[in-house]
Structure 1
Amino acid sequence: MKFSDNFEKLSRKTITPALFTIHTICCCISFVIVLQVYGYLHLFTWSSSRISEAALLSVPIAALAIAMIFASFSFGYLLSFYLYTVTLGYLWLTPFSQLDYDHRFPVISAIASTATFLAPMLFLKWPIKIKPAGSTRSLRWLVAAIIAATLAIIATGFLYNFKLIWLSEIYQFRDELKFPILLQYTMGIALGALLPFAFACCVEMRAHMLAATVLLLCVAFYPVTLTKTALFAPVWLCFLLLVSTYLEARIAVIMSLLGPIGVGLVLAALCREGLISESLFLNYFGTINFRMIAFPSVAIDVYNDFFSRHETTHFCQISLMKYLMACSYDEQPALIIARNYPVGNMNASLLATEGIASVGSALAPASAFLAGLILSVGNLTSKGLPPRFVILSSGIVTQAFLNVPLSIMMVTNGAALLFLLWYVMPRQPFAVASETGLKARV
């Protein structure tokens, strides 16, 4: 038996279950610190007496991890793990919530929504064969075209805004930014899908200088868009490159969240002992452990509270729906939430937006299942591509998945275009790379 087969068996039986357990525990510890540090938001109250209730609520969602332990890697596996983390956070935070709505049914709905999403994402096999239309030579031209198009988009963006400011100052100016609709879409698609795709291509083709150029283009979006995503995209993509190159694919997925969360916990311990400054701890923990990991879970709680007393949107956050039906809301749910809670513009994942806000908790599992069916197309179009390539090229899309609705993720963040690029990708270059030891381990 080959070493890779032995490692695969060991991974399924021992390493993956152990890492899932460690990830779950670290998330819960991180949520406890969130409760203690961000209690000033008055959305939740820390109480050590409620830990046992939080742990008990987390058991059903933790049980769903068993499905992921035995599932093979895919794009769906990546999104399923991220959604698992979001739902785990909501269940853990529920006993500490200050929001006055009946939490019992929404908790059941959140668990059911996660289960119905995981089913098609992990186990649906589309009976369609992939026939790539591209070639190795066309792939090189495609990367060159992406770089040229991105340069044109950035240059156009400079005409509307260019500010070199610190991160702490971006919120003073970001709401003032005005771009044409077409430019907004192209900037989102370039940063969310085109550049990560080009970076992944360069990595697999071992074009290191070109890969570095792509990362610099990501940073070039920062003075135009004033978004943290543009500034931190190169760091995030390099981190994904590291874990996906040296770790088995499913382990790399777990470490993509466990690693950043673990760093936040270490900084919290060092801060508690007075070994680092509180500002250093809060800058990292606030960005990663709170904003990136816990905030999507908090959003589910907030959306449940608001829409338990107000009419649902019936998908009116999708612009097309406003032309087909009468809508009760003229604004996006994020803006509505911002006026009613001290959280700012709270964009939220499909669980909160296409689920709770659009159809309510009762029908949210059906909405999650439909979303799983739609996104499972990514499994089909990425079939035959190396796991590392899938992880890298979807690196920004998966981050958007935690915080934005499905409709925005597919269009504005470029997931639909990414699926198309995967579909036409030539598989031959990667097969050659595999033979020479360059393909990422499966």
Structure 2
Amino acid sequence: MDDHLPRAKERLRLGALILVHVVICCASLIRLADAGRAIAFEPALFHLFFDPARLHVAIAVVTGFSLVSAFFLFARFSFGFFVGFYFYTMILGYLWLSCFSDLNYDRLPAGLSAVASIIAFLLPALFISSPIRQVYTLSAAAFDRVLWAILALGAATILAGAAYDFRLVAIEDIYQFRDKLESPAILNYLTGITSSSLLPFCFAGFAVRRSWWGAGAALLLLLLLYPITLSKLALFTPLWLVAILLLSKLFEARIAVILSLAGPLLAVLILVVLFKAKAALLLSIVNHRMVAIPSIAMDIYNDFFSKHDLTYFCQISFLKRLVACPYSEPLSVVMSQTYGMGNFNASLLATEGIASVGLWFAPVSVFVCGLVIALGNRLSAGLPPSFVLTSGAILPHILLNVPLTTTLLTHGAAVLFLLWYLTPRSMFEQQQPKQPSLAGT
């Protein structure tokens, strides 16, 4: 009985923090809809609206959906908790925005499907985390050598990429040049895997081993990927990894996950109030990119596939060669041609869900995706939460914006899962971890 009271207080604190996060997200979406020219994009182009006359409807919808957050109160930290909370925020944003959207489709079944899908995802992603027995594990020395090998591969990838494309471009001008980037497909794959999975794992590994020179080298390589990829994510990845590492050291892992979203959103909202137009670019980069865009994608995909043929997974490149597909172009290009918002990828809830099998079967498909994330939980079981948080810090952002299959292959999530499995658990039990060296000693 003595143990129940601390747990109840912990859940109460966690629940209160999630409710604050919900309020911050809604306030952020209101501010974005009202920002207009101040942030260099037209909200109407993104179907991003706010109507005070319908505020009571949006509040009722969001309040009802907030009950789903109870799942997080009873789940332990895992990689699935990390991803699941970001997806929860995306669906929260979609339900809010759909109350004001000008797109013409039946929102009630779409909203019910979205809620059923996130529940179907969370059940395995949050609650399947039993460890898989390690048939093989690296020694501490071998782990060190892997970290140095990743650094070497990252440096080689950057040198190869720079031979094809290297542009120092201001962040607001990247879209003028990004479509002009040309490099071999194999190099694009290697760049995606290196930036999203390998170098973040390398940084987390060096941080665990307290080899700060190695950790700094990993961050430098990540920063050098920006002029090659002209990606906002590449530019901010070093800062993000450091922030996640600090959060994971200062707070319990589940609280760190919530703060990783709520903190930046709230900070930018405060800066916008204080400095107005001077902070507008941050509103566009942080609040628009982190929360609004993934939620808008759900709105767009619901609208499009209420009027067009489903893909039945033919958007997956290797399947397109084997089966007939109603779309010759990638879905991101199809959405660009239809809505004029640029290439518009979307999360697994929109692609493996809505686009592939439609509203009614989307929860089934998303449940299977949740099982894949649960596999990541099982392969990382026994690793410190701080290490999982930091090494996997980029993947939730990737998963918000691209399909699961793309994340597993192009962005290296499958490689990261394997590295988690091979990482020696005994290494974290040492009181004074050995420093990585070029010799691996």
Report the Cα offset of residue 430 of structure 1: 0.6
Matched, 1:58 2:56: no
2:93 equivalent to 1:95: no
Aligned to 2:185: 181
Structure 1 residue 408: Cα displacement: 1.0
Question: Equivalent residue for 2:227?
Answer: 223
User: Deviation at 1:41?
Assistant: 1.7
Identical amino acids, percent of aligned pairs: 43
Q: Find the counterpart in structure 1 of residue 383 from structure 2.
A: 385
More displaced stretch, 117-126 vs 307-316: 117-126
For residues 290 and 126 of structure 2, the distance between their equivalents in structure 1, rounded to whole angstroms, comes to 24
TM-score between both structures, scaled by the size of structure 2: 0.93
In structure 2, the CA distance between the partners of 1:431 and 1:341, relative to structure 1 (3 Å rule), is same
1:83 matches 2:117: no
Which of 320, 323, 326 pairs up with 1:325? 323
Paired residues of 1:132 and 1:425 also in contact (CA < 8 A): no
In structure 2, distance between residues paired with 1:369 and 1:59 = 24
Superposition TM-score, scaled by structure 1 size = 0.93
Indicate which of 127, 133, 136 corresponds to 2:137: 133
Query: Which runs of structure 2 are paired with 1:158-173 in the superposition (5 Å)?
Result: 158-173=162-177
- Give the Cα–Cα distance (whole angstroms) in 1 for the partners of residues 168 and 8 of structure 2: 49
Pick from 420, 424, 428 the counterpart of residue 422 of structure 2. 424
Q: Does the CA-based 8 Å contact 2:271-2:279 persist in structure 1?
A: yes
CA spacing shift, 1:277–1:43, aligned 2, 3 Å = closer
Q: In the alignment, which residue of structure 2 is the partner of 1:210?
A: 214
Q: Please give the alpha-carbon distance, in whole angstroms, between the structure 1 residues aligned to 2:265 and 2:181.
A: 32
Partner Cα distance (2:267, 2:292) in 1: 15
Could you give the per-residue CA deviations for residues 350-406 of structure 1, whole angstroms, max 9, x where no partner exists? 111111111111111111101001111110110000000000000111110111111
Note closer, same or farther for the CA distance 1:160–1:388 as it changes in structure 2 (3 Å cut).
Answer: same
SS of residue in 2 equivalent to 1:413: coil
Question: Secondary structure of 1:320's partner?
Answer: helix
Shift, 1:12, TM fit: 2.5
Cα distance change, pair 434–18 in 1 and its aligned pair in 2 (3 A): farther
Structure 1, unmatched stretches of 5+, are 271-275, 437-442
Q: Which moved more, 1:321-330 or 1:384-393?
A: 321-330
Aligned ranges 1:351-390 → 2 under 5 Å: 351-390=349-388
Aligned length: 428
Q: Given that residues 84 and 114 in structure 1 are in contact (C-alpha distance below 8 angstroms), is that contact kept between their aligned partners in structure 2?
A: yes
| Aligned match of 2:196 | 192
Q: CA deviation at 1:40?
A: 3.3
Question: Does the CA contact (< 8 Å) of 2:348 and 2:403 recur in 1?
Answer: yes
The 3-state SS of whatever aligns with 2:269 is helix
Output the amino acid matched with 1:122.
L
Using the alignment, how far apart are the partners of 2:154 and 2:343 within structure 1?
Answer: 28
Q: Which moved more, 1:119-128 or 1:427-436?
A: 427-436
Task: Tell me which residue corresponds to 2:313.
Answer: 315
Match of 2:157 in 1: 153
Residue 410 (structure 1) aligns with: 408
> What is the root-mean-square deviation in Å for CA atoms of aligned residues?
2.0
Secondary structure of the structure 2 residue equivalent to 1:325: coil
Q: Retained in 2: the 8 A contact 1:61–1:84?
A: no
Q: Within 1, Cα distance between the matches of 2:192 and 2:6? A: 37
**Structure 2 CA distance, aligned partners of 1:238 and 1:11?**
30
